[in-house]
């Protein structure tokens, strides 16, 4: 651990709630997303949003908060019971499939849905969840990004760091220096420290090439203190003429500690076509039931 990291002065409140911004239009996947939310596109046999929810639940999250928009009702249906389907599976003796569905189903009263109503940016989407989150720290997971972890899930690695250091926690990963202008980049307090958990003293959204403070990008997983909502309530629009969560975090950084976790695993940006296809291949090859035949088909195509 970096010597610049300090222990929290009191025990950190547990992370019980997670926010999932799912109001985006998915224009990069038209026409597939004309009538179906992009979050319901499948990686192998699970929707993107299911992969991200599974990661959150594996980290101990108890309450799932979805910030939705128009035409997103199918996401709510996905996390609800389907009595007719369950009856059909039971009648056909497909008990293993039924058990898998029940295992993935959140418990009664553990999901909440709220509308963003206007596409004003990620920061605004997070602010829309303020009444449901309340005055407690929370996790924020972007459904466009799914993680193939090496053992422990990405968010679980972050909650472990949070329990030790408190404050706010960001997942980061290395990107090529020539790509830093495409991401939010963090500035380590001690640039020479190579530990996977370290403190940061700055962050910048899409810095010009050659001006990035590091090659460590913010990956799409956050643990944030509730004071972020007060900042977001008056946050001015930034890049893309939208309310940016990075801008609000930079303000919060002036009064609260931020820790970065260079997580163990691999992320896939499923907001891009290539990233989505790569995720399907990677997760498919990790499945014992389909990997051999998938590998054969890949070799035929190559």
DSSP string, 158-175: HHHHHHHH-SEEEEEEE-
pLDDT at 211: 87
Give percent of the chain with pLDDT exceeding 70: 96
Most confident of 96-110, 135-149, 208-222: 135-149
Pairing of strands 184-188, 168-174: unpaired
Averaged pLDDT for residues 221-239: 90
Dump pLDDT digits (tens) for 254-273.
999 999 999 999 999 999 99
CB 217 within 8 A of CB 172: yes
d(CA 127, CA 66): 12
More confident position, 180 or 25: 180
Beta-bridge partner residues of 197: 261
Whether the upstream peptide bond of residue 173 has omega within 30° of 0, thus cis, is: no
Q: How confident is the model at residue 154 (pLDDT cuts 50, 70, 90)?
A: very high
pLDDT at 3: 41
More confident position, 11 or 253: 253
Handedness of CA 187, 190, 195, 200 (dihedral sign): negative
Half-sphere exposure of 153 (CA within 13 A, CB side): 17
pLDDT at 110: 93
Mean residue pLDDT of the chain comes to 90
More confident position, 109 or 20: 20
Q: Which two tokens stand for residue 17?
A: 């709630």
d(CA 96, CA 89): 9
Torsion of CA 240, 243, 249, 254, to 10 degrees: 100
Cβ-in-10-Å burial (0-12, 13-18, 19+) of 9 comes to exposed
d(CA 91, CA 83): 12
DSSP 121-159: -HHHHHHTTHHHH-SS-EEEE-TTEEEEESSS-HHHHHH
Q: In terms of pTM, does the model score above 0.85? A: yes
Q: Which two tokens stand for residue 294?
A: 């998938």
Q: Is the pLDDT of residue 4 over 60?
A: no
Dump pLDDT digits (tens) for 67-104.
998 888 899 999 888 888 888 888 888 888 888 888 88
Q: Is the pLDDT of residue 194 over 80?
A: no
Count the Cβ atoms, other than its own, within 10 Å of residue 49: 24
Dump pLDDT digits (tens) for 29-55.
989 888 899 999 999 999 999 999 999
Within 8 A by CB and 6+ apart from 274, the residues are none
């Amino acid at each position: 651990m970096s010597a610049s990291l300090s222990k929290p002065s009191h025990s950190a409140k547990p992370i019980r709630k997670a926010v999932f911004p799912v109001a985006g239009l998915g224009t990069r996947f038209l026409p597939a997303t004309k009538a179906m939310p992009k979050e319901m596109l499948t990686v192998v046999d699970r929707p993107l949003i299911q992969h991200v929810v599974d990661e959150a639940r594996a980290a101990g999250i108890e309450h799932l908060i979805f910030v939705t928009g128009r035409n997103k009702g199918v996401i709510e249906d996905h996390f609800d019971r389907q009595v007719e389907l369950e009856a059909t599976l039971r009648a056909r003796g497909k008990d293993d499939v039924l058990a898998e569905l029940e295992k993935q189903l959140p418990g009664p009263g553990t999901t909440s849905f709220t509308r963003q109503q206007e596409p004003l940016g990620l920061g605004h989407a997070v602010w829309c969840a303020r009444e449901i989150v309340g005055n407690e720290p929370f996790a924020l997971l972007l459904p466009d990004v799914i993680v193939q972890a090496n053992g422990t899930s990405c968010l679980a690695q972050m909650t472990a760091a949070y329990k030790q250091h408190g404050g706010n926690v960001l997942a980061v990963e290395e990107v090529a220096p020539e790509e830093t202008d495409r991401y939010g980049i963090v500035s380590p307090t001690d640039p020479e420290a190579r530990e996977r958990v370290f403190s940061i003293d700055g962050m910048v959204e899409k810095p010009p090439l050659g001006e990035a403070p590091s090659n460590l990008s913010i990956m799409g997983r956050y643990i944030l203190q509730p004071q972020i909502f007060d900042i977001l309530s008056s946050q001015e629009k930034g890049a893309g003429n939208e309310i940016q969560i990075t801008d609000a975090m930079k303000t919060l950084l002036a009064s609260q500690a931020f820790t970065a976790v260079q997580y163990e695993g691999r992320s896939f940006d499923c907001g891009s076509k290539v990233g989505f296809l790569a995720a399907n291949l990677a997760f498919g090859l990790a499945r014992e039931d389909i990997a051999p035949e998938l590998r054969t088909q890949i070799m035929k195509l190559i």
